[in-house]
């Protein structure tokens, strides 16, 4: 799945809670309530629903589930215990989200992302771009075993290149995720690739071999689709890239040496370094490379001025005009206009305006102005107002720390590039973290009251044929991705509940593990409040609703596994070797 060591510890040992008091209709009440609430909320708020209202709707859904639980003898303490387990299980993912925000910031100011876009624009064109996205992300994801790392590194750069080529961000994100989840699914380094056969009772490499039967046709169809889209792309805007390349070089120092950082991060992941450590390393290296290569960016984004504080004996008479942009950090002021004004009508001062301009190079001179304060025409005091620019060390610290933590943008002469060269830092990931926590609350309460187990059992009992068994497994995985908001539960719960049913039908465990991956692993990214959907939309900056239809590999995989089941293609029996 995402990356090594961000899963709950031993997810295969997680308890599946059954509640004999709960019937299927009661288990479905919170689901129906959530769907109705979300539909109305999206109707009212539209694209801004993820700004906070959807998060509260998930909590309302959890409240409905809790009420059902109370009526079925589930205590408040039991529910809170499961919620705590759920939230704790996402700790690694939440920290990785913060670190991805930090990494995106330092990779922007260091020129790494601009360099990827610069060289990518020269190598890729709209005709082959989307198919190339699938292939590039598939290779990186197979090597790292991580769809999350893939989207957080090359995925961000490909989104930028796609925007520069005027290709829909939804298309680009869909291509990135199709490739990333193909590689994640087929990599022996992936945690879900190891988890699925553990749940089904199979072996890892037998599982991977058996997955190729459904996965290869799916990725081939995906590639054909993106090739067709590429051939249909309007390439009239390609000539504009020459000016765009010039504008990038004007704003950044572009050199192949910058690729040392992303290569180092990928190598660390391949070497099974915990992803949090790998991303932290990439963030710090991005800051170091900014110091080495991007001195103009440092001065442009980090220059501050230390302005003399108003002497305490005059603070009752004068103050800074709040109509101007007065921004400071512990008396370090950003460039802008600073104007002193009298507080009362009987006080006058000489015109005192400090217009502290931004600069893309060192500012050596101080700004000094004498302030004369008069009361009813008589001078009552004077002092010198001084603005001293920060040195390179402080300026660098402001630039790098702001890129890591808050919104950062690099101004260029090209409006399109201005949109691309912006990052939200760690603060930009807080909305996604908020969504994940609320989703985990809903999933935790649903698990505590036994609703997840009841829904899976009901689906298992719907069918009596081999195809029906596969169909109910797919339906269970999809339902759990929606209701539990967690990819691991979408593998663990059906894996445990369906293992015996597959054996009773004489089916080898590879059938179950393949189905868990085809319908549990890859579809999690299609649910906005699922941890995977929230993460990927947050990292790529593209809402799930925009990339859903273009994440072809992800939504086609469950259909492919059902087609194979319906026609009994590569359905391995227990007695087969």
Copy the structure tokens of residue 520. Answer: 């549990």
- How many CB atoms lie under 10 A from the CB of residue 16? 16
Copy the structure tokens of residue 164. Answer: 């520069």
User: With contact defined as beta carbons under 8 Å apart, do 514 and 210 qualify?
Assistant: yes
CA distance 371 to 384: 6
User: With contact defined as beta carbons under 8 Å apart, do 332 and 394 qualify?
Assistant: yes
Residue 239 pLDDT? 47
**How far is CA 550 from each of CA 137, 138, 560, rounded to the nearest angstrom?**
15, 16, 17
Q: What are phi and psi of 380, to 5 degrees?
A: -115, -5
Name which of 17, 94, 46 is nearest 534 in CA terms.
Answer: 94
Burial 424-437 (b: 16+ CB within 10 A, else e): bbbebbebbbbbbb
DSSP assignment string, 88-111: HHTHHHHHHHHHHHHHHHHHHHTT
Give residue limits of the domains in the chain.
304-389
Copy the structure tokens of residue 113. Answer: 């992302």
**How far is CA 47 from each of CA 212, 265, 310, 482, rounded to the nearest angstrom?**
37, 34, 46, 19
Residue 2 pLDDT? 44
Size of the chain, expressed as the number of residues it contains: 577
Residue 4 pLDDT? 40
Copy the structure tokens of residue 234. Answer: 């309007």
Residue 53 pLDDT? 85
Angle of helix 91-109 relative to helix 430-448, nearest 10 degrees? 170
- How many CB atoms lie under 10 A from the CB of residue 537? 22
Place of tokens 């660390």: 268
Could you say which residues of the chain have pLDDT below 50?
1-9, 239
Name which of 221, 216, 136 is nearest 180 in CA terms.
Answer: 136
Paired with 367 in beta bridges are: 387
Return the half-sphere exposure (C-beta side, CA atoms, 13 A cut-off) of residue 287: 21
CA distance 326 to 340: 11
C-alpha dihedral (523, 44, 64, 486), degrees to nearest 10: 20
User: With contact defined as beta carbons under 8 Å apart, do 137 and 179 qualify?
Assistant: yes
Segment 66-72 long-range contacts (CB within 8 Å, at least 24 positions apart): 66/445, 66/449, 68/22, 68/26, 68/27, 68/29, 68/30, 68/449, 68/451, 69/445, 69/448, 69/449, 71/26, 72/19, 72/21, 72/22, 72/26, 72/449, 72/450
User: With contact defined as beta carbons under 8 Å apart, do 303 and 358 qualify?
Assistant: yes
Helix, strand, coil % over all residues of the chain, rounded to 5: 65, 10, 25
State how beta strands 367-375 and 378-389 pair: antiparallel
- How many CB atoms lie under 10 A from the CB of residue 259? 13
DSSP assignment string, 367-421: EEEEEEEEETTEEEEEEEEEEEE--HHHHHHHHHHHHHHS-EE---S-HHHHHHS
Name which of 181, 196, 195 is nearest 515 in CA terms.
Answer: 196
């Amino acid at each position: 799945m995402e990356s090594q060591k961000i899963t709950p510890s031993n997810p295969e040992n997680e308890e599946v809670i059954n509640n004999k008091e709960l019937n299927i209709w009661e288990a479905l009440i919170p689901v129906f309530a959530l769907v109705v609430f979300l539909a109305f909320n999206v109707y009212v708020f539209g694209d801004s629903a993820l700004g906070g209202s959807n998060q509260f709707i998930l909590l309302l859904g959890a409240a409905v589930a809790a009420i059902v639980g109370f009526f079925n003898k589930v205590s408040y303490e039991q529910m809170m215990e499961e919620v705590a387990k759920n939230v704790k299980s996402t700790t690694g993912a939440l920290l990785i989200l913060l670190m991805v925000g930090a990494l995106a910031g330092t990779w922007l100011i260091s020129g790494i992302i601009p360099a990827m876009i610069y060289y990518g624009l020269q190598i890729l064109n709209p005709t082959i771009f989307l198919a190339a996205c699938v292939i590039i992300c598939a290779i990186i994801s197979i090597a790292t075993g991580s769809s999350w790392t893939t989207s957080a590194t090359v995925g961000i750069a490909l989104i930028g290149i796609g925007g520069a080529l005027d290709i829909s961000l939804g298309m680009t994100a869909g291509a990135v995720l199709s490739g990333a989840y193909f590689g994640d699914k087929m990599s022996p380094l992936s945690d879900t690739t190891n988890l699925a056969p553990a749940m089904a009772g199979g072996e890892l490499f037998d599982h991977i071999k058996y997955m190729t039967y459904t996965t290869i046709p799916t990725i081939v169809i995906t590639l054909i689709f993106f090739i067709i889209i590429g051939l249909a792309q309007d390439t009239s805007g390609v000539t504009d890239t020459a000016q765009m390349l010039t504008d990038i070089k004007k704003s950044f120092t572009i050199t192949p040496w910058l690729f040392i950082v992303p290569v180092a991060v990928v190598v660390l992941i391949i070497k099974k370094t915990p992803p949090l450590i790998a991303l932290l390393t990439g963030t710090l290296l991005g800051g170091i490379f900014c110091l080495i290569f991007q001195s103009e960016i440092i001065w442009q984004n980090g220059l501050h001025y230390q302005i003399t504080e108003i002497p305490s004996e005059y603070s009752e008479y004068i103050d800074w005009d709040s109509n101007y942009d007065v921004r400071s950090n512990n008396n370090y002021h950003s460039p802008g206009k600073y104007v002193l004004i009298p507080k009362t009508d009987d006080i006058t001062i000489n015109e005192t305006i400090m217009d502290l301009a931004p600069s893309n190079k060192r500012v050596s001179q101080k700004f000094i102005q004498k302030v004369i304060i008069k009361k009813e025409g008589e001078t009552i005091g004077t002092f010198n107002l001084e603005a001293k620019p920060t040195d390179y060390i402080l300026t660098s610290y402001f630039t790098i720390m702001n890129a890591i933590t808050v919104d950062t943008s690099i101004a260029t002469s090209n409006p399109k590039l201005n949109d691309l060269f912006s990052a939200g830092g760690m603060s930009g990931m807080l909305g996604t973290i908020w969504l994940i926590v609320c989703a985990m609350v809903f999933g935790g309460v649903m698990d505590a009251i036994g609703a997840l187990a009841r829904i899976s059992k009901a689906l298992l009992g719907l069918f009596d044929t081999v195809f029906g068994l596969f169909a109910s497994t797919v339906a269970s995985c999809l339902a759990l991705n929606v209701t539990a908001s967690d990819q691991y539960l979408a593998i663990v719960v059906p894996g445990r509940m369906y293992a015996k049913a597959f054996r009773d039908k004489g089916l080898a465990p590879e059938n179950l593990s393949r189905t868990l991956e085809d319908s549990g692993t890859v579809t999690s990214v299609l649910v906005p409040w699922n941890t995977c959907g929230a993460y990927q939309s947050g990292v790529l900056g593209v809402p799930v609703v925009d990339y859903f239809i273009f994440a072809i590999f992800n939504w086609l995989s469950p259909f492919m596994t059902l087609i194979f089941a319906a026609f009994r293609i590569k359905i391995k029996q227990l007695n087969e070797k």
